[in-house]
Chains A and B, each alone.
Chain A
């Protein structure tokens, strides 16, 4: 991404060239630009501190004692320790964490498989009513969880899927398929049809075409789409709140609210619980930020 822009110094040179006719304004301009650059960099750094501080406060408060949090909220922990993290993990967070993991992984797998298959049919096969299907997918992007909570409540009860991980997984897959197909389809359109036609002439059947040609070539978009999906599933709230009732089945975003009301005033343990829930996605993002941002930008920008 940044390699595209290594010529950004060109306009400055152009500007400098023009100004060199009159020597004095040039020095002022350079000085002005330097001051501007320092001011902007300082501003960006202050913003960064403002963004990070609440998160730092969350992680560090979890290493303090309750009285320390109240007496000296800004101070670093005097006796930093991970006891509250251990306590949070043992008193419920482990179960929420496990549930989030199960729901996220299974729904991720299903979404990518079904999304890639549908995109394959839309771009490389002779799908009847392909326009209508694309329109259905686009319309699906307009639907949001709060609009359909009531009828889904009826539907899941009828199907015996209320209060089950299976029900939640199906909802996550269905809800995110429009966006996922949108993303993968756009990418598969860029795979030349000559490739798939050549494979057909060589005698490949549809399954081989999908598994040997289209899927391997689509790896970058599958990574992006997968990461964007994981970000959604790990943090999803309204479906998990309404359709899971047993504490033993709850995922992190909903379980943490129970955790909060159960703990009442044990702040360090609550901060530790929040931190544990936040860490996996923060780490995933730091490791794969390019894919995250590309996935989100492509999905919305096309």
Chain B
């Protein structure tokens, strides 16, 4: 009887488990294996090359450009999406109520519902040197000196892409942080007010510690996503000009499917996995140390 009920339970879970094992875990292991081999679609015979692809990556200036760009993406996103997003969520919680609050929240969230291809191509027009609204706005404000070929200049291109992402995702992060803020019992704010805390002290003594779980999770998600950017670059610059906007994702894609250098692509993909896992473990360990419980 017990065995029968266990067999039935296994049947209910089997399709999901098998799909995950076969299409997520098996490729993950296979990718690790492939990173030690030289092979391509045209010459599919696998030749063992050890750590050759990893050594090549560490000596490849484009790889380091990509790592730098991913790090810049992570740093800016952490400050703007999580840092400023938390301030934005706090302002929404403390200063506007009811319908107006959900109106602002929805407006800020709206860009996150749109495909990155759409926002990327749209912002390529915003940044367009001739007809884009950014340069014409600068000209209107008398700031002609600041006009740039935003996506065509290796100095500004990655920052222009990063700025678009902040526009798209800050409201999304703020909306999720707002959920966490609204779970804070009102009595704690009352106690802080009785102690004479102003809005700024209230923010640091009540809001920040009591949203730590959500802030930690949003930080992990934001930093990990910064190492996975791909769609943004393909839609806006395709890694150019002169490789200035390459990220790890575009290196994987271009090596695998344009240059037919599959083993190298697998090695970079393995490095991305390692980075993602490290970020997750470090953040969770740090958060557990500082946990505040109610």
Contact = CB atoms under 8 A, between A and B. Distances in A.
Interface of A: 1-2, 4-5, 7-8, 10-12, 14-15, 18, 36-37, 40-41, 43-44, 47-48, 50-55, 57-58, 61, 69-70, 73-74, 114-115, 117-118, 120-122, 125-128, 133, 136-137, 139-140, 142-155, 170-171, 173-175, 177-178, 181, 206, 210, 231, 234-235, 237-238, 241-242, 252-254, 256-257, 260, 267, 270-271, 274, 277-278, 281-282, 284-286, 289, 292-294, 296-297, 300-301
Contacts of A4: 182
Contact of A237 (B137, B231, B269, B280): B231
Contact of A128 (B10, B94, B107, B123): B10
B242 to A, nearest CB: 21
A205 B116 CA distance: 46
A7 B24 contact: no
Given A47-B108, A54-B122, A128-B9, 16 more contacts: A2-B101, A5-B182, A8-B97, A55-B110, A139-B25, A147-B270, A150-B265, A150-B266, A231-B113, A235-B114, A238-B249, A254-B117, A257-B117, A274-B122, A300-B176, A301-B217
Interface in B91-144: 91-98, 101-102, 104-111, 113-118, 121-123, 125-126, 130-133, 136-137, 140
A50 B134 CA distance: 12
B286 interface: no
Contacts of A8: 93-94, 97, 186, 189
B43 interface: no
Given A58-B122, A289-B106, A44 B31 contact: no
Contacts of B16: 114-115, 117-118, 177, 181
A149 to B, nearest CB: 6
A114 B19 contact: yes
A40 B16 CA distance: 48
B72 interface: no
Given A242-B257, A293-B179, A297-B176, A121 B231 contact: no
A147 B28 contact: yes
B12 interface: yes
B228 A118 contact: no
B133 A74 contact: yes
B186 A125 contact: no
A61 to B, nearest CB: 8
A278 B9 CA distance: 41
A282 B10 contact: no
Contacts of A139: 25
Contacts of A241: 234, 253
B24 A260 contact: no
With most chain B CB atoms within 10 A of its CB, the pick from A52, A115, A140, A150 is A150
B13 interface: yes
Interface of B: 2, 5-6, 8-10, 12-13, 15-17, 19-28, 30-31, 34, 88, 91-98, 101-102, 104-111, 113-118, 121-123, 125-126, 130-133, 136-137, 140, 167, 171-172, 175-176, 179-180, 182, 186, 189-190, 192-194, 196, 199, 213-214, 217-218, 221, 224, 228, 230-231, 234-235, 248-249, 252-253, 256-257, 262, 265-266, 269-270, 272-273, 276-277, 280
28 contacts: A5-B97, A7-B186, A11-B192, A18-B196, A40-B95, A52-B107, A61-B125, A73-B131, A73-B132, A73-B136, A117-B16, A127-B13, A136-B20, A136-B21, A144-B228, A147-B270, A148-B24, A151-B30, A154-B30, A174-B20, A237-B116, A237-B230, A257-B235, A277-B114, A277-B117, A282-B114, A285-B106, A292-B109
B133 A151 contact: no
Contacts of A153: 256-257
A230 to B, nearest CB: 10
With most chain A CB atoms within 10 A of its CB, the pick from B107, B167, B253 is B107
Nearest to B279: A142
Contacts of B110: 51-52, 55, 282, 285
A299 B90 CA distance: 21
A213 B228 CA distance: 40
Interface of A is mostly: helix
A10 B186 contact: yes
Contacts of A271: 122, 125
Contacts of B230: 146, 237-238
A44 B84 CA distance: 13
A55 B109 contact: no
Given A5-B186, A121-B9, A154-B30, A48 B108 contact: yes
Given A14-B190, A153-B256, A277-B115, A300 B12 contact: no
A101 B41 CA distance: 32
A51 B108 contact: yes
B113 A174 contact: no
Give the 7 A-B CB pairs with smallest separation, nearest first. A11-B193, A125-B9, A174-B23, A118-B16, A121-B12, A151-B30, A121-B13
A174 B9 CA distance: 20
Given A4-B182, A128-B10, A235-B116, A152 B23 contact: yes
Given A48-B107, A282-B113, A274 B31 contact: no
B108 A14 contact: no
